Each structure stands twice: as structure tokens, then as C-alpha cells.
Structure 1
Amino acid sequence: MKLNSSNFMCLMMMLTTTTMSLMINNWLFMWILMEINLFMFMPLMSKNKINDQSIKYFIIQSFSSHLLMFSILMVSILMMPPKNSLIVMIALMMKTGMAPLHLWLPEIMNKMKWNECLMLASPLKIIPMILMSKFTSMKMVIIPMMLSLMMGCLSGLNQTCLKKMMAFSSIFNLAWMISSFMTSKKVMLLFMMIYTSLNFKIMMFFKKMNIQYMNQINQLELKKKIKINMMILSLSGLPPMMGFFPKWMILKEMVMKSNIMCFTMIMTSLISMFMYMQISSFTFSNLSMKKKMILENKMSSINLINLMYIPIMLIFWVN
């Protein structure tokens, strides 16, 4: 995706609508912003000449948008609180690719370029997640969140295609995103910044190196192998990496709300680490003993500080 004037305008509109959604509590305005986001993303997809995937994505998003609008009208007519509406929940689950309505997400992401995968994995989910956190109850969303955690980590274990693996990683982290939206705005902003930045670094690295499958990582030089390995481990939430601290803060809040959900998040995180460790195994599977001995000397101290110790300072900002 070349950043020409039309693409830049679409990206700026998506950024503007997403930022506005954080300051609005009205159902109708948020629905309009969500649809603007969709229509700004469609031209970016059509540049790929993958018309079938664009049509599939448009049909799924249009159906879920109409279902959401229908549910809003029904809630207004019946004078019932939106937090008790199952149709609202189903529409938002379909919008975000939340389990068990997630099957479309890996298939579509697999046919996209890395730029579009990045936008679909996190920024496009922000507005539906805000709606879900504000207008659905914890009791209704807890089962889909647990299903997303389990389906995301288990389905990603057998993947060798990196785009599909990142799609299942997105499904897994979707439960963490919604939990962050339900805790506090500071925790939510911290989690989204770290998760989106890690996704950006990883996917842009795969794009730059033209990597689609795990076995292609073996062709990289040692320094680049170490770099991608550190980013993947951080995304997995392995302490003391950067991705661990926002998840730890979310768990601190979730303990007060649901012990079962907290336990599920911990156990599935352990399973998901095996999914991310697959990349590590491919990364260092053919290294000689001599190269393994000089591994630490090749590591950049600046990268270590960024990935490990800077998040400790962010804890003081949140607290």
C-alpha cells in the first residue's frame, strides 16, 4: 500500500473517527463513526486487487452493522436497557471477529497485505470494543471473552502461516482489549499503545523481509533473528518484556470483577506462549554452537531497555 494522497486521507479519517469515539457516549454517533471507519478502510483493501476478500469483508461488516442498527431500534422501541440485548452483543462480536463468530478473520487476513493486516488486527476494532464495553454487561461478554481466549491460543498452535497466526493472536488479545476497556482509561490507553506498536513492529518487519511462513525466518541473518524473536516474546506477554506489564495491570483489575475470567486469562496466556515460541524455535533451530555462544554480544542494549525496562516507568504513570 503506497502512501499517496488518497490513502493518506483515508488513514487520517480513520484516526480522526477513532479518536472522536473515545469522547462520545451516544449510540448513533458512535455507529456513524464506525461506518465511516469501514468506508475509509475499503478503498485501502481494493488497492490489493483481492476483490473477493474485499467483498467478503464488506458483506460481513455490512450485515453486522445492519444487525446492530436493528437491535438499537428494538431497544428503543421496547424501552429496554441495551446491556440486556443479545442482538447487540452478537452484532459487535461479528464486527470484531470475536469467538465463536471469528472464522472469517483468519481467512481474510491471510489474503491481505501486512499493512491491511495491521489495521484489521487492532485499530479497526477500537470503536466496536468501546461500544461493547459501554453498552454490554460483564455477565454477557464474559463467555465470548473466554471463548476468544481459548480459540485464539489453541487454533494458533498448528499454524505455520504467519498471517493466520497473527490473526489468531488478534482474536486471543481481543479479550484482553475488552478487559482493558472495562477497567480504566489509562490502562486501556497503555495496553492499546503497546499492543499496536508491537503489532506494527512485527508486521512491518515481516513485510520488509517478505516473510509469509515460519520456515522463511531461517533465511535471516542472526541480528534480525534476534530482533524478531525479542518482539514476538514481548507480544506473548513474557515477563519482564514490554507486553507483560499492561496484562499484569489488567489482571489486577479483573481479580476484583471475575476470578474465573482472571484464571482463564492466565492459563490461556501460558498456552499462547507455546504459539509464539514456535517462531523462536524456527529462529534458532539451525544455529551453530559458536553462534549461540555469541548471542548475547549481538543483542542491542537499547532494544533491551525498550522491551524490558521502559514499561516499569509506565506503571507509575498508571498508578
Structure 2
Amino acid sequence: MFNNFTNFTFFIMLMLGTIISISSNSWLGAWMGLEINLLSFIPLLTNLKNLSSTESSLKYFIIQALASATLLFVILLMSFFNNFYFEYNNYLNVILNSSLLMKMGAAPFHSWFPEVMEGLNWFMSFILMTWQKIAPMILISYCMLYEYIYFIIMFSIFIGSIGGFNQTNLRSLMAYSSINHLGWMLSSLMISVSYWLVYFLFYSILSLSIIQMFYQMNIFFFKQIFSSYNNFPLIKFLLFCNFLSLGGLPPFTGFLPKWIIIQNLSITNPALIFMMVMLTLITLFYYIRLAYSAFMMQSTDLYWNNLWISKFSKTSIVLNFFSLFGLIFIMMIYII
């Protein structure tokens, strides 16, 4: 009971740190909110019965501490140079952007993200992919350098697309998918915070629908899907349709936020959106390749005995329905 109460307290502190960070009217207050968020998230990651989880929490702490130290150092320098040397502010803004990008795991500061994801359970992975990106994203909208962010967008989408090739660990694949979506989120943030919020909400719901299926079926590797669900093609169908929706393939729901970004950026920056779409097609390619392999391979190897096929919760059904058919209903509402 004490352990559950302690975890609940840490979750409250986690949310409170994010709220403090995004509602602060000074960079020092934003830094304090990020630190509260970090110090409350580390105990949630740590599991003394699981060495890989403890290793992931240590890696996460080292990277976040480095990014926080860099952020604090830049805040102090900016307060000094504002009174003396204005020409140095652009260089400091680059470092400030880089520290926030490191906190969220955007490329080229992404190396820690898949390694940390590999040692976490599915619930902590979902928190790391979604909630932990809110505060850095909002803060980076205050000091965004567009020329620098163009490079980060292209690099994040490229790394997220290429990094998913030949991945057998589902958590690593979701990590690279998150890096890919970070590029799209940053591009939506260049338009407005409202577009970013729409994209982030859709991404969170789609990620939750996939991760909840992984959690309920207790699977962590693609080989488990290939070998253990030959008699349950509907489960494979739902899983890989969710992947295609997350990749942004029409007519699934995941295409809608990308459609909104494409519509807006195609007018102001057509070259950028062209490269983003072309690189995202790489992600769809290996998702389709994995789906084809899963349906074609026949094997009798089992990796566990308890298959919770018939115990999908109502939440899973609703999330899968939204992931696959949400775009149709949204378009119907728009037409009406």
C-alpha cells in the first residue's frame, strides 16, 4: 500500500513539475520545473528487481542532468550578456535549444533514448514518449531558431526512419518512431502551439492504443508476434493496422495530423514538407514489410503460455477503433 501511495505521489510531482515549467515567467523557474519533473521520474523508473530498469534510470539521470546543467549555464550567461554583448545571444540560443532537444531525445541528441527505452516497462515507456516531451516542447517554442530547427526536423525524421530498420525489439522500434514524430511535432510547433497540441494528442492516443495491446499480451519482440499468433490473424491485423496508423498511412487516423501539417507547410515551405514526406515513407515501408512477414511466416514456437486474447478491455477496443476509423468520422463531422 505504501509503495502504491509513493508512486502516486511521484506521479503528482511529475505532473506538477511539467506544469511549473510551462507556466513559469522566467527561465530559472522553467529550469526548476524541469528538475522537479526529473527527480520525480527517476524513482518511477527504478526497479531494484530488474537490473535493466535500474540501468535505464541511471542513463536517463546522467543525460538529463547534463542537459539541465547546460540549460542552467546558458540561462546565467544570457542574463549576463543581455547587459553587455548582444551579438553572442544567437550562439547562446543554439546551446539553449540544444539542451532542450537533448531533454526530449531529438536527433542528433537521440542516442540515449532507444537505450533507455529498452529497459523500461510499457507504462514507463509511454510516459517517456509522451508526457516527458511536453515541457521541453513548450519551452523551445519560446526561443526557437528556425534555421537550426529546420536541420533538427530533417535529422530527426531521417534517424527515426532509418533507425527502425532491422529492429526486433518493439521498445526500440517505438523509440525510433517517437524520434520520427518529434520531427513532425517540431514542424507543427513552427506553425503554432495549437497545431502542435493537435498533433501531440493524436500521437499520444495512437501510441497508447499500441502500447496497451503490447502490455496486455506481454510482448516485447517481433518474433513473439510472428510465432505465437498464427491462429489469431485478427490480433495481427489490429497490431499492424495500428502501426500503419502511427506511421501516417491514409485512411487511418494517424494520417490526419500529418495532413494538417502538410496543408500548412506546403504553402510556406514546400521543400521542407517534401523531404519530410519522402523520409516518412521509409517508416511506412518497413512497417508494411513487417506486416507482410508477420502474416506470411508460419511457426509453432511459443514464448509464453498465457495468451490474454479474450480479455481485451473496453478501453483497448475504443482506442483501436479510434486508431483505425477515427479519420472517417472526423471527416464526416467536418462535412456535416
Q: Please confirm whether the aligned pair reaches a TM-score higher than 0.5, indicating the same fold.
A: yes
Unaligned 5+ segments in structure 2 are 299-316
Residue 11 of structure 1 corresponds to 11
Q: Which moved more, 1:132-141 or 1:271-280?
A: 271-280
Q: 1 CA distance for matches of 2:11 and 2:28?
A: 22
Residue 313 of structure 2: aligned partner:
none
Corresponding residue of 1:169: 177
More moved, 45-54 vs 109-118: 45-54
Work out whether residues 161 and 212 of structure 1, in 8 Å CA contact, stay in contact via their aligned partners in 2: yes
Superposed, which structure 2 residues align to 1:1-319 within 5 Å?
4-19=4-19, 21-47=21-47, 48-49=50-51, 50-79=53-82, 80=86, 84=91, 85-218=93-226, 219-220=228-229, 221-286=232-297, 303=321, 306-312=325-331
Q: Measure the CA separation in 2 of the matches of 1:259 and 1:19.
A: 35
Q: Given residue 208 of structure 1, which amino acid in structure 2 is its aligned partner?
A: Q
Measured in 2, the distance between the counterparts of 1:106 and 1:65 equals 20
| AA partner of residue 54 (structure 2) | N
Could you list the runs of 5+ residues in structure 1 that have no partner in the other structure?
Answer: 288-299
Shift of 1:24: 4.2
TM value normalised by structure 1 = 0.86
Whether contact under 8 Å (1:242, 1:310) holds in the other structure is no
- Aligned-residue CA RMSD (Å): 2.6
Native 8 Å contact 2:149 2:186 kept in 1: no
Q: Distance in 1 between matches of 2:61 and 2:111?
A: 15
Alpha carbons of 1:9 and 1:312: their partners in 2 closer, same or farther (altered >3 Å)? farther
Say if 2:16 and 2:37, in contact at 8 Å, map to a contact too. no
Between the aligned partners of 2:290 and 2:5, the Cα distance in structure 1 is 36
Residue by residue over 1:53-112, the C-alpha shift from the partner in whole angstroms, topping out at 9 and shown as x without a partner, is 211110110011000110111111111486652211221222111111211111111111
For 2:37 and 2:109, the matched residues in 1 are separated by 21
User: Residue type of the partner of 1:308?
Assistant: L
Q: Tell me by how many angstroms 1:203 deviates.
A: 1.3
Instruction: Call closer, same or farther: CA 1:231–1:78 in 2, change over 3 Å.
Output: same
Q: Secondary structure at the match of 2:249?
A: coil
CA distance in 1, matches of 2:283, 2:60: 27
How many residue pairs end up in the alignment? 304
Following the alignment from structure 2 to structure 1, what is the Cα–Cα distance between the partners of residues 3 and 135? 24
Quote the offset at 1:243 in angstroms: 0.7
Q: Which amino acid aligns with 2:277?
A: I
Please state whether the residue corresponding to 2:195 is helix, strand or coil. helix
Amino acid at match of 1:178: L
